[in-house]
Amino acid sequence: MKGVLGARLRTWVAIPVLMRVATGLAPAASAPSAARVVAEYLRAKGGAKALARVHTVRFEGTLTEPGIEATGSYLLILEEPNRFYEEAAFGGETTREAYNGKSAWRQDHQGLRTLTGEEATLAEATARYRNGGFLSYKKEKDRLQLLGPETVRGRRAEKVEATTTSGAKRQVFFDEASHLIVEEAVPAGDGSEERVFYRNYRLADGIAEPYGVEYRQGGHTWNVAITGVRHNAPVNEALFDFPSISNQPLPDIANLLREVEKNQKTIDHLVEQYACEKSEEEFEVDSRGAVQSKGVKEYEVFYLGGDEVDRLVRKDGKDLSPAEQQKEKEKIEKRIAQYEKREAKPAQQGEDEGKRKKDEVEVSDFLRMDRFTDERRETFRDHGVIVFDFEPNPAYHPGSTLERLLHELVGAVWIDEQARQVVRLEAYLHNSFKLGGGLFASLQKGSAFTFEQAKINDEVWLPSHLEAHVSARLLLLKGFHGNFTDRYSDYRKFHVESVTKPGACH
């Protein structure tokens, strides 16, 4: 926890969902397995049918800290498939956090803000963990690994590590006697770890729920005594949305996006005056959630016609061989020649622009394809921005493959209101996406993407960070779970005419 309550009481769940995961090769029948531990847990929890009937859960309780006489309050509201609202008041401070299916926010002693980075990833994973249950772990394509027996406060337990598609991990300990969860360990988003202990399970509407919860983080301990549990109670949807705290009017999002698009030509002109370095690190996650590095590639980057051009210069810290350098040189020369040919022939420019429009989705398409909600003003990297969530418009029927893919995305966008530029985008697939009915390829639900820019020389926002966590299957082959991160650095200006020279990024 942070401050008094800190990183919110993040890991306690009404229907502890454990990131549902397939478990690789089946062990001997007599040996415990993650799948068997989960099955025993579901039965002890109340059974699959009873859990499937739960759509909302409301928990209320009191909050105490050892050695302090004060008593606080605690509230947790869940709504499937992936919404939660959590509020804890103690010692004159109230901490609130929520995830609305598209973005997460927190309000505490640091103020009110949309969560980003690891904190956002953990919030999305927590929302699924709390709501989804083991009923859908195979469908979710997360990974589960049995780590073996442990002792939790004098009781034997089975330790399981769960890894989501986005790479979020948590460790869960199942009591060998009761088969219920007795402990969890999860990253708190600030480099620390939060440990949660469960006790006093009782039946509520036929479902076993913990009525005693203990949180430990950063040398602090908090205890929650649950005083009431309600399943399937009505929920106020506005509770999950970002709170409105400013009377300053917000721009119309559709008009703002049109202005961003209109500003693009000016941006492209500025972008082509810059070169930079890019480091790309790639990982692969096996069926048990273990991360295996696939190496680091370093590039010199410049821009032609608004498009990024990458020249590979090193792999895993080693310079390319002479043959590899020659191959990269020829690739760049070919790309430059194509650019110069297009620029020299106005008719060719129009033809290429037509092809590009066919392969791209414009803002006008985005406006038809999605709904925009929860608009708010925030500060991002010391700049005032407009933030809004987006989700598919159910009335829109996408035509192209690209449109179908984008129509499955939900997330949030950050726009510099003054510069009329996108500075951050977070999105993930809320449904699986299939090509050829899944015969050729399938991107799994939960695959996540983050793009971020930094303001350079106080004149233009340029790429600074790109991250993806993808779970996919190609041509009916074994599934792939991978992650990659691109980091851009060392931006510097150069003369435009030098673009036509190989190695101009030096």
Given a cut of 50, whether residue 1 has pLDDT beyond it is no
Given a cut of 60, whether residue 442 has pLDDT beyond it is yes
**268 and 227 in one domain?**
no
Beta strands in 135-176 (DSSP E): 142-152, 155-163, 169-175
Residue 248's pLDDT is 82
Given a cut of 50, whether residue 407 has pLDDT beyond it is yes
Helix H, strand E, coil C: the string for 414-476 is EEECCCCEEEEEEEEECCCEEEHHHCCEEECCCCEEEEEEEEECCCEEEEEEEEEEEEEEECC
Decide if 12 is inside a domain. Answer: no
The rounded distance, in Å, linking the Cα atoms of 505 and 432 is: 39
Given a cut of 80, whether residue 411 has pLDDT beyond it is yes
pLDDT in tens, 218-247: 888 999 999 999 999 999 999 999 998 777
**400 and 425 in one domain?**
yes
Q: Which of 187, 212, 240 is the last residue of a domain?
A: 240
Residue 13's pLDDT is 28
Q: How many CB atoms lie within 10 A of CB 300?
A: 21
Given a cut of 80, whether residue 283 has pLDDT beyond it is no
The residue range of the domain holding 120 is 21-240
**416 and 361 in one domain?**
yes
Q: Is 295 exposed, middle or buried (0-12, 13-18, 19+ CB in 10 A)?
A: exposed
Decide if 214 is inside a domain. Answer: yes
**183 and 50 in one domain?**
yes
Decide if 184 is inside a domain. Answer: yes
User: Which of residues 335 and 201 earns the better pLDDT score?
Assistant: 201
Given a cut of 50, whether residue 4 has pLDDT beyond it is no
Decide if 4 is inside a domain. Answer: no
DSSP code of 218?
Answer: T
**179 and 30 in one domain?**
yes
**331 and 219 in one domain?**
no
**87 and 228 in one domain?**
yes
Strand partners, 469: 448, 483
Q: Which of 206, 240, 274 is the last residue of a domain?
A: 240
pLDDT in tens, 78-115: 999 999 999 999 988 999 999 999 999 999 988 999 99
Decide if 456 is inside a domain. Answer: yes
CA angle 146, 152, 155 (to 5 degrees): 100
User: Which of residues 271 and 1 earns the better pLDDT score?
Assistant: 271
User: Which of residues 232 and 473 earns the better pLDDT score?
Assistant: 232
Decide if 7 is inside a domain. Answer: no
**208 and 290 in one domain?**
no
Residue 147's pLDDT is 93
Residue 24's pLDDT is 32
Q: Which of 180, 205, 240 is the last residue of a domain?
A: 240
Residue 493's pLDDT is 87
pLDDT in tens, 480-505: 566 889 999 999 987 545 544 444 44
CATH of the domain at 40: 2.50.20.10
Decide if 316 is inside a domain. Answer: yes
pLDDT in tens, 296-345: 999 999 988 778 899 999 999 999 999 999 999 999 999 888 888 887 77
**123 and 42 in one domain?**
yes
Average pLDDT, the chain: 82
**390 and 305 in one domain?**
yes
The rounded distance, in Å, linking the Cα atoms of 396 and 339 is: 36
Closest C-alpha among 258, 242, 244, 194 to residue 220: 194
Residue 148's pLDDT is 93
Mean pLDDT in residue range 277-285: 85
pLDDT in tens, 391-405: 999 998 888 878 888
Residue 131's pLDDT is 87
**260 and 226 in one domain?**
no
Mean pLDDT in residue range 31-56: 90
Lowest-confidence pick of 54-58, 102-106, 340-344, 426-430: 340-344
Decide if 334 is inside a domain. Answer: yes
The model carries a pTM of 0.79
Could you give the number of structural domains in the chain? 2
**272 and 210 in one domain?**
no
Given a cut of 90, whether residue 67 has pLDDT beyond it is no
